[in-house]
Structure 1
Amino acid sequence: MVIRQLSETLINQIAAGEVIERPASAAKELIENALDAGATRIEIATSGGGKGLLRVSDNGSGMDAADLELAVKRHCTSKISTTLDDIRTLGFRGEALPSIGSVAKLSISSRRKDSAGGTEIAVAGGKILHLRPSASNPGTIVEVRDLFFATPARLKFLKTEKAEAAAITEVVKRMAIAFPGVRFVLSGTDRSTLEFPATGEDHLARMAQVLGKEFRDNAIELDAEREGIALTGFAGVPTFNRGNSAHQYAFVNGRPVQDKLILSAIRGAYAETIPAGRYPVAVLSLSLDPALVDVNVHPAKSDVRFRDPGLVRGLIVGAVREALARDGSRAATTGADGMLRSFRSGFQPGYQRPAQGAWSAGTSPSRPFQTANGGFGARPQASFDGLSMPAARAEPQAQPWQQSRSAEEPPPRYPLGAARAQIHENYIVAQTDDGLVIVDQHAAHERLVFEAMRKALQSTQLPSQVLLIPEIVDLPEEDCDRLMMHAEGLKGLGLAIERFGPGAIAVRETPAMLGEVDAQGLIRQLADEIAEWDTASGLSAKLEYVAATMACHGSVRSGRRLRPEEMNALLRQMEMTPGSGQCNHGRPTYIELKLSDIERLFGRS
């Protein structure tokens, strides 16, 4: 075979395959150039999902004729000179414009602010068509038509026009979040106009423009620093989550990235607070010395490599968890909105009032309502097993179907209020200063038990209770083998197990804080979960996950009737426990309804 030098056009087309994968890639490169030029207003117009037309206009510094002639040649840039260790701009490779020009019809009109006139250059299929004076406003207009006309095979791999247009929208959103001081306008024949007015230094206002106003009400501010790496941004409360990770935005030195390390750190920070299949909403911005991060990993510049990835991950996980512990227990405002939507005003025509005497107090089969004094002749129940609850302040007891508080008595001052009733033997209704709270007693107690176990794990072995008669659990032999490999770690959690023949496990001790526990169900679930792990790895990395499983099995169950002091003790403990706004599986433990929301239901506001 004969080795030959490739033509410049073919070299550019090969490079375009890496840099310009789809219309959104071209949009990203052109917007980055506009931002690097100092633009404060950027307008993007598309047609045919960006395949037919992509136009980016800005009011940046502009270029003269000599700059334009160099701009469409490979490896010509104004952003770096001799080293890649101090990259402070979005672009730096000098490949975007020549790559676009090699596969599309490209025209650039530009004018410097101090110039009397502008210049236009046109490139098609890698060939310069003309370079001539033009009437231009200060700034630059880049117009790309018939993308991939020179490489028609690439068109077959593009998605529908609607999908490609949506990808461009996502690029604009990410850039808009990163640069709140810039006004972005996205329009075209294939979309409705999208505008993000500049918000100056108010990053949260820009995030609300992109992510919706609900994010402002459900976001927790982040501000942390470790060994010269600063992390800022906002993390959504766990109960404010989405069905995919598209609402997670990460930036490194102002550059939008989609880095696996950062996304993994976000997922780890929200462990045991987000339901399976749901994703948190977060906007994270890392600032560090450019020499500590490599942005030249891929021509698309969306991946980065950190010199100390462990430090970066630890910073993100620690900062987010600290923020969630500080302010993440509150319920998402969307929970109350969903509750309001579920209500229906007025009565149902099919409703029939029961005959006189058909219901007697406390005899309804489902026991739908119980007041906080254990009303309707209810017998007091036992206190919570195993978990010590703080003494609750004595609250005036409401009589059935009567006002629970006198007009002169001040409302409760606790954040979660005072318990007023238990309905369907699972939900606690509490009155707060300005509304009411509905608590899922099982989900709430599950979180309290888990946090108690987690805290105990950090200090000493959990106390256990010896079973008078060991519980024998029949399991497949391979499950028994896996459980016994981790017997020592389980012992630290207060769960003592022994082998009982080839296909059985004997449970001799269970964690004392769980009280009465379904040992059969607990062992079987642990066996299933351990089977999913790498059995060669130690259990130490999984102890918190095991603790969450144990907490679920040892929590107060749905259907248990509680005394008023137990309900109030649960509320007080929730107020003192980090992460009590959601259970170990990420479901909300309570929903808050403001008085103003209740008044809206009755048309009083």
Structure 2
Amino acid sequence: MNIVTPNISTDRPESRPVIRPLDEAAINRIAAGEVVERPASAVKELVENALDAGATRIAVDFADGGKTLIRVTDDGCGMTAADLPLAIARHATSKIDGSDLLNIHSFGFRGEALASLGSVGRLTLTSRAQGHDAAQISVAGGRIGDLRPAALTRGTVVELRDLFYATPARLKFLRTDRAEAQAIAEVIRRLAMAEPHVGFTLTETSNGDSRVIFRADPQSGDFFDALHGRLTGILGADFTQNALRIDIPRDGLHLTGYAALPTYSRGSGAQQFVFVNGRPVLDKLLLGALRVAYFDFLSRDRHPAAVLNLNCDPERVDVNVHPAKAEVRFREPDAARSLIITGLRTALSGAGHRASTTVASETLAAMRPERPVYQMDRPSQATFARAFAFQAPESPPAEPATGFAEAPTARLEERSEARDESHLSHPLGAARAQVHENYIIAQTATGIVIVDQHAAHERLVYERLKRQMADTGITAQALLIPEIIELSATDAARILDAAPTLAEIGLRVEPFGGNAVAVRETPAILGAVNAAALIRDVLDELADAGQSHLIRAKIDAVLSRMACHGSIRSGRQMRAEEMNALLREMEATPHSGQCNHGRPTYVELKLHDIERLFGRR
């Protein structure tokens, strides 16, 4: 039998990709795609450079959503003519020496921004350092122009025109001019919060006309005074009037800023601003910790409002994990997360029964008539007497009819009951009446308070139950037959890593060989639970946030339902001493200003506001 061997040529060249170095222009354009995602990214990089230069005033001008013009002018230290060619070179910077990429004290440090912008747009850099002449250099599409003298008093002016003209495909992915302008404004607002002692001006140019769309003058005083003034200008007086000052140092970390009361909650997370060493970040760990700190006070559709800065040694946080430096990585993430959660909860507890002033404002707005009420000249006392006499009810024929000599008064409390005027000195005042068997009307020294008796007592009972559980611990219920759950290797490792923490709240999980785990105990207060479903829900939360508060939330939900059933019901009539006792307990109990779902338990109306409703002021 003859075997035919195929004739295979061994000298044919193999078909394979060839490795070749990219040219400098392509490298810079790739880098620009990572650093400069949209015009707002360019503004962020340029303004951060100005802040690193020690600027006290920064002006930003843009046109067409930043696509055709971005100009950043600052009064910082400036650069010399010899510095300018280096400033537009890739990976050239004055902020680090390259020996330690963790010890970073500035906003920028990579030396990529100007080189990247010059590779995709037309960049002109003009600067003057003290004691030197001003100079200017240009770069367009990666081509560097000649260095030339210029006229400038101080600081630096960076002008970027025709962004992405060298990579026109990127323009197709930009949004409308209006959307890009809003993104630029948001960048400036965040940086203005980070640096309250620096002045910012944002100007939009359209059809030859210029319009200032944001202005924040430099604030004076210490950090908290300056930040308070800056936040009042940016977020409004409602925020600062209803925000708690946060100043909590612990274990080398320092949390500062302002956090709003739960009753000042928002419908979205638009008023959540987090900074690390003054750097604005959008970090999942920190924003998740903020949400957890409020989860016992707000329903799922409401969001807290806060401006928080976490300061720490730069070597304890890595800011070089994201091209836009929007995310950070902590050496001890649990310590950072714990500080935010416990710090904010402590601050909220210190607020006591306080509710936000916006509750009263919204109440007054709802009570105002749609049509304006005009204040007429006040009638004389004789006119009042005749009017009241005319409106008085007719007396029985056997008795002579009498009119009112003065304006009548009315009280819903019994005349025979002695009034304890000492209650007026308390924040929630003295109970005067109960309306619709659910609302307590109390008189204070400066106005009135309306209390929802059921919501208020529900919160009081809920806080009492939580204190009792904290004192006695969470009782675990042993399962007669442990539930065995098969998981993936990753999920099994994740749930077992969290097992010590879960055991503290009554859920005991143990390894069962391979990728299986055994659930041996569950929190007794939850009753009969589907252990497999519970474990998988906990795993989802661990994967998303790194830590699970699901079981704690379920336990608190049970306590909340118990508090609801054990509290004073709507429709129950209360005696004056019972109403006053409820008011005094509210004043002594933290978080009593909002119910278990974040709604206010009382509304306080000042007398001058009530008088204004009736046109008296």
1:324 positional shift: 0.4
Q: Is the 8 A contact 1:489 1:539 kept in 2?
A: no
Aligned residue number for residue 444 of structure 1: 456
Work out the CA distance in 1 between the residues paired with 2:591 and 2:424: 22
Deviation per CA, 1:209-253, whole angstroms, max 9, x where unpaired?
A: 111111221111111111111111111111112222121111111
1:65 positional shift: 1.8
TM-score normalised to structure 2 length: 0.77
Work out the CA distance in 1 between the residues paired with 2:372 and 2:616: 21
Work out the CA distance in 2 between the residues paired with 1:347 and 1:73: 65
- Paired residues in the alignment total 509
| Identity level (%) | 54
Aligned residue number for residue 566 of structure 2: 554
Q: Which amino acid aligns with 2:213?
A: T
1:130 positional shift: 3.0
Work out the CA distance in 2 between the residues paired with 1:156 and 1:544: 49
- After TM superposition, list the pairs within 5 Å mapping 1:266-415 onto structure 2: 266-327=290-351, 329-345=353-369, 373=413, 396=418, 412-415=424-427
Work out the CA distance in 2 between the residues paired with 1:348 and 1:322: 45
Secondary structure in 2 aligned to 1:451? helix
Question: Is the aligned partner of 1:206 residue 2:230?
Answer: yes
RMSD: 3.1
Deviation per CA, 1:498-550, whole angstroms, max 9, x where unpaired?
A: 8xxxxxxxxxxxxxxxxxxxxxxxx9xx99x9799449999467422332233
Question: Is the aligned partner of 1:177 residue 2:193?
Answer: yes
1:553 positional shift: 3.8
1:161 positional shift: 1.0
Aligned residue number for residue 595 of structure 1: 607
Question: Is the aligned partner of 1:154 residue 2:178?
Answer: no
Deviation per CA, 1:45-102, whole angstroms, max 9, x where unpaired?
A: 1111111211100000111122110111110000000211210001000011111111
Secondary structure in 1 aligned to 2:337? helix
1:454 positional shift: 0.6
Q: Which amino acid aligns with 1:13?
A: R
TM-score normalised to structure 1 length: 0.78
Moved more, 545-554 or 98-107: 545-554
Q: Which residue of 246, 251, 254 corresponds with 2:278? A: 254
**Distance change >3 Å, CA 567–CA 326, structure 1 → 2:** same
1:123 positional shift: 1.1
1:7 positional shift: 1.0
**Distance change >3 Å, CA 487–CA 50, structure 1 → 2:** same
Aligned residue number for residue 129 of structure 1: 145
Question: Is the aligned partner of 1:86 residue 2:99?
Answer: no
1:592 positional shift: 1.1
Aligned residue number for residue 57 of structure 1: 73
Q: Is the 8 A contact 1:273 1:586 kept in 2?
A: yes
Deviation per CA, 1:166-205, whole angstroms, max 9, x where unpaired?
A: 1111111111111111111111125543210111332211
Q: Which amino acid aligns with 2:152?
A: S
Q: Is the 8 A contact 2:201 2:212 kept in 1?
A: no
**Distance change >3 Å, CA 186–CA 559, structure 1 → 2:** same
Q: Is the 8 A contact 2:586 2:592 kept in 1?
A: yes
**Distance change >3 Å, CA 164–CA 348, structure 1 → 2:** closer
Work out the CA distance in 2 between the residues paired with 1:13 and 1:348: 61
Q: Which amino acid aligns with 2:126?
A: S
1:604 positional shift: 3.0
Question: Is the aligned partner of 1:453 residue 2:477?
Answer: no
**Distance change >3 Å, CA 145–CA 559, structure 1 → 2:** farther
Work out the CA distance in 2 between the residues paired with 1:535 and 1:87: 35
Q: Is the 8 A contact 2:296 2:556 kept in 1?
A: no
Aligned residue number for residue 588 of structure 2: 576
Deviation per CA, 1:422-445, whole angstroms, max 9, x where unpaired?
A: 222222111111111111122211
Aligned residue number for residue 27 of structure 1: 43
Q: Is the 8 A contact 1:220 1:328 kept in 2?
A: no
Work out the CA distance in 1 between the residues paired with 2:423 and 2:56: 51
Work out the CA distance in 1 between the residues paired with 2:106 and 2:473: 52
Q: Is the 8 A contact 1:222 1:231 kept in 2?
A: yes
1:560 positional shift: 2.9
Work out the CA distance in 2 between the residues paired with 1:121 and 1:554: 75
Q: Is the 8 A contact 2:353 2:588 kept in 1?
A: no
Q: Is the 8 A contact 1:109 1:142 kept in 2?
A: yes
Q: Which amino acid aligns with 1:189?
A: T
Deviation per CA, 1:123-164, whole angstroms, max 9, x where unpaired?
A: 111111332111112100111111111111111211111111
Q: Which amino acid aligns with 2:309?
A: S
Secondary structure in 2 aligned to 1:458? helix
Secondary structure in 2 aligned to 1:75? coil
Secondary structure in 2 aligned to 1:459? helix
Q: Is the 8 A contact 1:489 1:540 kept in 2?
A: no
Work out the CA distance in 2 between the residues paired with 1:314 and 1:348: 52
Question: Is the aligned partner of 1:11 residue 2:35?
Answer: no
Deviation per CA, 1:372-414, whole angstroms, max 9, x where unpaired?
A: 6489xxxxxxxxxxxxxxxxxx9835xxxxxxx9xxx667111
Aligned residue number for residue 193 of structure 1: 213
Aligned residue number for residue 516 of structure 1: none
Q: Which ranges of structure 2 fall in alignment gaps of 5 or more residues? A: 1-16, 374-392, 395-409, 476-506, 508-517, 541-547
Deviation per CA, 1:262-320, whole angstroms, max 9, x where unpaired?
A: 11111111112123222111111111111100000111011100000111111111111
Larger-gyration structure (1/2):
2
Q: Which amino acid aligns with 1:151?
A: T
Secondary structure in 2 aligned to 1:156? helix
Q: Which amino acid aligns with 1:110?
A: S
Work out the CA distance in 2 between the residues paired with 1:564 and 1:268: 39
